[in-house]
Structure 1
Amino acid sequence: MTPAALADLVRTSAVTVLAARGLDHTVLPDTVTIERPRNPEHGDYATNLALQVAKKVGLAPRELAEALAASLAEVEGVAGAEVAGPGFLNLRLAADAQGELVRQVLAAGERYGTGDALTGREINLEFVSANPTGPVHLGGTRWAAVGDALGRVLAAQGAEVTREYYFNDAGAQIDRFVDSLIAAAKGEPAPEDGYAGTYISDIAAEIIRTEPSALSLPESERHEVFRRLGIERMFDEIKKSLHEFGTDFDVYFQEDSLHASGAVEREVEQLKESGSLYLADGAWWLRSTEHGDDKDRVVIKTDGAPAYIAGDIAYLRNKRDRGFDLCIYMLGADHHGYIARLKAAAAAIGDDPEVVEVLIGQMVNLVSEGKPVRMSKRAGTVITIEDLVEAVGVDAARYELTRYSVDSTLDVDLDLLRKHTNENPVFYVQYAHARLASLQRNATELGLSSSADADFSLLTHPREGDLIRTIGEFPTVLRRAAELREPHRVARYLETLASAYHKFYDVARVLPQGDEEATPLTYARLTLCEAARQVLANGLALLGVSAPERM
């Protein structure tokens, strides 16, 4: 019995109890909260339903809890129901009812844990979107891991997710990038406000090999050649790095296309006509304070050039025209102002600001031997995605970057992630999977296999019950991770599951030894282990991390 099924059971009993007393059952919440008590001695699950609704129906909480306990005690699969404190209800399930969950995991396989909470939603998920002026830095690498995992989690709840990279190929930063390439090609130092690093020299050399006469072209033509070829090569490198990191995108959207196509100009004219823009001091301003921004924003500057927000507004319109009903932006720590700004942009084009969500990610630091790591082999002072992967590998990097809330600054301990010990969280989880895979191989050599027909009522050891209940939490964890846009919940859950399995393995022998014969308990435990392995594999897949068969 899953926690969701138990919640439905409790609600059904509550309806019966209230109806028998002529009381209004419509006060019951649609979904009953079911939690695991911190102290296992208090039961398998607990609910505070009586405390939630007793006052609304005119009963004392304990009186309602006692009536619920009596009703639930008669339900098949419930071994006991006890009232605690002011009206909490502690529940114990029969072993066979708990074991039914193992059968459900086997039947669902890779689909176990998925749901339909977001079915019908069309979500545009934009992340990384680093300027094509250098390799992906650590902040972008964090988004590459978290954004990709979030996309998988949202899709696991039924959403249609489009992963999008906004290619910032317009603006002053591109001009500085081009000037840096030209300087490198000439053998000159980078401009004062330009970009340094061996990657600049490498790209400049490639451009000269492709276009030997590039430096002798008239200034405007030279600038265009270095711009076109430089951006192309830099972005190819960015795509390659992200692909090798396990992160690919469905759409690469070029900012410059919004300007070249006239989309920005058309959107600005529409905003002028609708009154969303006003003219002051020679510039056109968005009335963004009317929608929660701290100040109105310049959309068209005094020289007639569009400000950056003009492209943002046109880009949002483009996303909505493509049919997305939710647009999630994953931005860096210095972009807090964009939350109100983008919501104001949505309101300005006549949209509900709630179609926009902005997630802000904090900085990432590398630490080795207790000291910050600041130097990169290719990018000077900027640590890149390649630097991190070279140091610890893709799996460890992705897992570590995903296991923390993006609200917090993250210090990545390279020495810890290199360890093949239980101190290393990704090793701990992957080792649990490898250990389970090894168990299944050993079982096969003995002619044994997991079976949905096993007698799960034999799984009465407390560690078996704990493992089953932990497996049962996976669908709820996934749903909450999707609702809150927090894929780190999946990583933390996997560590809890791995711990539950290791503790089970320490006290419960699964396979027969020597001349022993397999018993019904053997098959029940072997099947429980296969369910645990499946859930670990499913969770790791959502994080884009491998589930090794051997370690």
Structure 2
Amino acid sequence: MTPSDLAELLHGTAATVLADRGLDVSVLPETLTVERPRNPEHGDYATNVAMQVAKKAGVNPRELATWLAEALTAADGIDSAEVAGPGFLNIRLAADAQGAIVAKVLAERNEYGNGGDLAGKKVNLEFVSANPTGPIHLGGTRWAAVGDALGRILTAQGADVTREYYFNDHGAQIDRYTRSLIAAALGEPAPEDGYAGAYIVDIAREVLAQRPDALDLPVDERDEVFRSIGVDSIFAHIKRTLHEFGVDFDVYFHENSLFESGAVDKAVEKLKTSGSLYLADGAWWLRSTDYGDDKDRVVIKSDGNAAYIAGDIAYFQDKRSRGFDLCIYMLGADHHGYIARLKAAAAAAGDDPDTVEVLIGQMVNLVRGGEVVKMSKRAGTVIRLDDLVEAIGVDAARYALVRSSVDQSIDIDLDLWTSTTSENPVYYVQYAHARLSSIARNAADLGLGTDGADLSLLTHDREGDLIRTIGEYPRVLAKAAELREPHRVARYLEELAGTYHRFYDSCRILPMGDEEPGAIHTARLALCAAARQVLGNGLELLGVSAPERM
């Protein structure tokens, strides 16, 4: 019986108890909360439902809790239910009900933990979207890991997710990039507002290799050659780097296409017609303060050129025209202003602002020997995704970037994440999976399996701890999807690994020496198989490998 199953049983029991006594059943919330108590001596699960609803029902909380305890104790799968304090309920599951969790995992395998909360919802998930003016930096790397994990988690909850990369190949940053390439090709220093680093020199050489005559062309043609080849080159590098990091996108959307197709002009005209834009000081402004923004935003500047938000508006409308119910944007720490701006753009177009969600990711620092690592020689001024992967590997990099809430800045200690100790979180979790895989191999060598396991034999406290931790996985996954917080899965895996290691230290799994295999060995092998499955499922959602040997 998983926590969700117990919550459902509790709801039905409470409804029956209230109805039998002529009390108002509608006071029950749709979902009741059951939690694992901090002190395991208090039971397997606890609930405060009696304290939640007693006053509304017109009864004493402890009296209601007593009625619930009596009814629950008589229910299948419940060993005991006891009243504590002013009306808490402490519940212990019967051994066979706990064993049912193990059986469920072994039956569902890769599907265990998945849910249908987002079934039928079409989600556009835009992340990374690094400017095509240089390699992916550390901030973009964080979004690559978190965004990819979030996409997997949303999919596991039934959503139809499209991973999208918005390629900013229009505007002033591309002009600066082009000028930087030309300067490098001419052997000149980078422009004051340009881009530096060895990669700029490399790409300039690539342009000249493809077009040896580039520097001899008329200025406009020269600029276009350097822009076109230069953008294609860095974009190819970005895509290759992300692929090697385990991140691929369904759609690569080019900002420039919005201008070339006339989509920006069309979107602006639509807002003018609706009255959402007004003309002042020669510029067209979005009435974004009407929708919660701190100030109105210029959409068309006084010189007639489109401001950056014009592309954002057209891009959002394009997403909606493709049938997305929810558009999630994952942006950097300096983009807080975009939250209200994008919601205002949606509302101004007559759409529901809640079709837009903006997640803001905070900064990442690399630390080695207690000192912050300052820069990458290749990129010139920033740490690249490649630098992080080279330092600690893909698995550790992805895990390190995912395991903290994105609204927190993080320091990645390179010494820690390359260590092979229990202090290294990814090593700790992967080692648990490898240890479980070793047990499965050894069991197979002995001719032992999990068929016919009597799971009601799993009554040891450490067995119960492990079973209940396994049972929490579906709820953790649902909450991670609901709150868009993949770090919940990482932290859960660490808890599961720790619970497993403690179980391993307390409970002998395989027969020793001449000992005859018994039913308890089969049951514990089944429990190990379930733990291994859940660790593997969770690591897969994070895009981290689940090694069988370490």
Normalising by the residue count of structure 2, what TM-score does the alignment of the two structures yield? Answer: 1.00
Distance 2:523 2:293 in 1: 59
Corresponding position of 2:507: 508
- Find the aligned partners of 2:328 and 2:269 in 1 and give their Cα distance: 26
Q: Work out whether residues 102 and 468 of structure 1, in 8 Å CA contact, stay in contact via their aligned partners in 2.
A: yes
Indicate the residue corresponding to 2:272 in structure 1: 272
Write the distance in 2 (CA, Å) between the matches of 1:171 and 1:280.
24
Provide the identity percentage: 72
SS of the residue 2:82 aligns to: strand
Q: Kindly provide the amino acid, as one letter, of the partner of residue 523 in structure 2.
A: A
CA distance in 1, matches of 2:444, 2:90: 40
Deviation of 1:11 after TM superposition, in Å, equals: 1.0
> AA paired with 2:66?
E
1:380, distance to aligned residue in structure 2 (A): 1.3
Instruction: Tell me if structure 2 keeps the 8 A contact 1:166–1:252.
Output: yes
**1:411 match: secondary structure:** strand
Instruction: Describe how 1:193-212 pairs up with structure 2 within 5 A.
Output: 193-212=193-212
1:134 and 2:134 matched = yes
Question: Which residue is 2:293 aligned to?
Answer: 293
Deviation digits for residues 429-461 of structure 1, max 9, x if unmatched? 00000000000000000001122x311111111
Alignment of 1:295-314 (within 5 A): 295-314=295-314
Query: In structure 2, how many angstroms separate the alpha carbons of the residues matched to 1:97 and 1:354?
Result: 41
How do 1:92-491 and structure 2 match up within 5 A?
Answer: 92-451=92-451, 453-491=452-490
Letter of the 1:211 counterpart: R
Unaligned runs of 5+ in 2: none
Secondary structure at 1:5's aligned position in 2? helix
3-state SS of 1:106 partner? helix
- Structure 1 counterpart of 2:457, which letter? L
Could you list the per-position Cα deviations for residues 7-28 of structure 1 after superposition, in whole angstroms to 9, with x for gaps in the alignment?
1111111111111101111211
C-alpha distance in 2 between matches for 1:347 and 1:507: 59
Q: Which residue does 1:51 correspond to in 2?
A: 51
Give the residue type in structure 1 aligned to 2:524.
R
1:36: how far off?
0.1
CA distance in 2, matches of 1:297, 1:11: 50
User: What whole-Å deviation, never above 9, does each CA across 1:27-62 have from its counterpart, x for those lacking one?
Assistant: 111111010000000000001110110011100000
Q: Distance in 2 between matches of 1:100 and 1:347?
A: 48
**Cα deviation, residue 383, structure 1:** 0.2
Separation (CA, whole Å) in 2 of partners of 1:12 and 1:90: 17
Q: 2:220 is aligned with what amino acid?
A: S
1:26 partnered with 2:26: yes
- 1:65-80 equivalence runs, <5 A: 65-80=65-80
Contact 1:326 1:356 (8 Å CA) reproduced: yes
Query: Does structure 2 retain, via aligned residues, the 8 Å contact 1:416–1:423?
Result: yes
Tell me the residue number matched to 2:538.
Answer: 539
**Higher alpha-carbon deviation: 299-308 or 26-35:** 26-35
1:304 CA displacement:
0.3
Q: Distance in 2 between matches of 1:511 and 1:443?
A: 7
Q: 238-247 vs 372-381, which deviates more?
A: 372-381
In the alignment, which residue of structure 2 is the partner of 1:83?
83
- Indicate conservation of the 8 Å contact 1:367/1:373, yes or no: yes
CA contact (8 A) 1:157 1:479 kept: yes
Distance in 2, matches of 1:162 and 1:375, equals: 33
Rounded Cα–Cα distance in structure 1 between residues aligned with 2:426 and 2:137:
22
User: Which residue identity is paired with 1:294?
Assistant: D
Q: Which runs of 5+ in 1 are unaligned?
A: none
Kindly provide the CA deviation profile for residues 268-311 of structure 1, in whole angstroms up to 9, marking residues without a partner as x. Answer: 11111110100000000000000000000000000000000000
Please say if residues 377 and 387 of structure 1, whose CA atoms lie closer than 8 Å, have aligned partners that are also in contact. no
Cα distance in 1, alignment partners of residues 193 and 501 from structure 2: 54
Q: Secondary structure at the residue paired with 1:525?
A: helix
CA distance in 2, matches of 1:179, 1:133: 11
Report the Cα distance in structure 2 between the residues aligned to 1:351 and 1:372, rounded to whole angstroms.
45
Paired AA for residue 462 in structure 1: D
Query: Could you tell which deviates more after superposition, 480-489 or 511-520?
Result: 511-520
SS of 1:299's partner is strand
Distance in 1, Cα, partners of 2:400 & 2:436: 23
Matched to 2:495, the amino acid is T
In structure 2, what residue type is equivalent to 1:465?
G
1:340 partner SS? helix
- Alpha-carbon distance in 1 for matches of 2:26, 2:272: 49
State the distance in 2 between where 1:21 and 1:416 align.
Answer: 60
Describe the SS at the equivalent of 2:33. Answer: coil
Q: Report the more deviating stretch, 17-26 or 528-537.
A: 17-26
- Which deviations, in whole Å up to 9, do the C-alpha atoms of 1:68-105 show, x marking residues without a partner? 00111111211110011111100001111100110000
Q: Do the aligned residues in 2 keep the contact of 1:15 with 1:25 (CA within 8 Å)?
A: yes
Separation in 1 of the partners of 2:4 and 2:491? Answer: 20
Please tell me the residue identity of whatever aligns with 1:461.
H
Residue 4 (structure 1) shift = 0.7
CA–CA distance in structure 2, aligned partners of residues 17 and 313 of structure 1: 54
Distance (whole Å) between structure 2 residues aligned to residue 76 and residue 294 of structure 1: 57
Report the number of matched residues.
550
Q: Distance in 1 between matches of 2:506 and 2:272?
A: 72
SS at match of 2:148: helix
Alpha-carbon distance between aligned partners in 1 of 2:338 and 2:381, rounded to the nearest angstrom: 27
**TM-superposition CA deviations, 1:492-534 (whole Å, max 9, x none):** 0000000000000001000011111110000000000000000
What SS does the corresponding residue of 1:359 show, helix, strand or coil? Answer: strand
Distance 1:281 1:180 in 2: 34
Q: How far, CA to CA, are the matches of 2:456 and 2:240 in structure 1?
A: 52
Supply the distance in 2 between the matched residues of 1:418 and 1:74 (Cα, whole angstroms). 53
**Which residue identity does 2:242 align to in structure 1?**
L
Cα distance between partner residues in 2 of 1:204 and 1:179:
10
Q: CA-to-partner distance for each residue in 1:219-267, whole Å, 9 max, x for gaps? A: 0000000000000000000000000000100000000000000000011
Matched residues in 1 for 2:189 and 2:12: separation? 75
Which string of whole-angstrom CA distances, capped at 9 and with x for unpartnered residues, describes residues 172-217 of structure 1? 0000000000010111111111100010000000110110000000
Write the distance in 2 (CA, Å) between the matches of 1:133 and 1:317.
26
Describe how 1:3-42 pairs up with structure 2 within 5 A.
Answer: 3-42=3-42
Distance in 2 (CA, whole Å) between partners of 1:10 and 1:79 is 14
Kindly state the Cα deviation for residue 375 of structure 1 after the two structures are TM-superposed: 2.1
Instruction: Provide the residue aligned with 1:529 in structure 2.
Output: 528
Please state how far the C-alpha of 1:377 moved relative to its aligned partner. 2.9
Q: Distance in 2 between matches of 1:121 and 1:213?
A: 52
Q: Answer whether contact 1:123 1:161 (CA < 8 A) is retained.
A: yes
RMSD: 0.5
- Following the alignment from structure 1 to structure 2, what is the Cα–Cα distance between the partners of residues 403 and 361? 13
| 3-state DSSP of counterpart to 1:473 | helix
Q: Distance in 2 between matches of 1:259 and 1:16?
A: 62
In 1, the alpha carbon distance for the partners of 2:41 and 2:71 equals 22
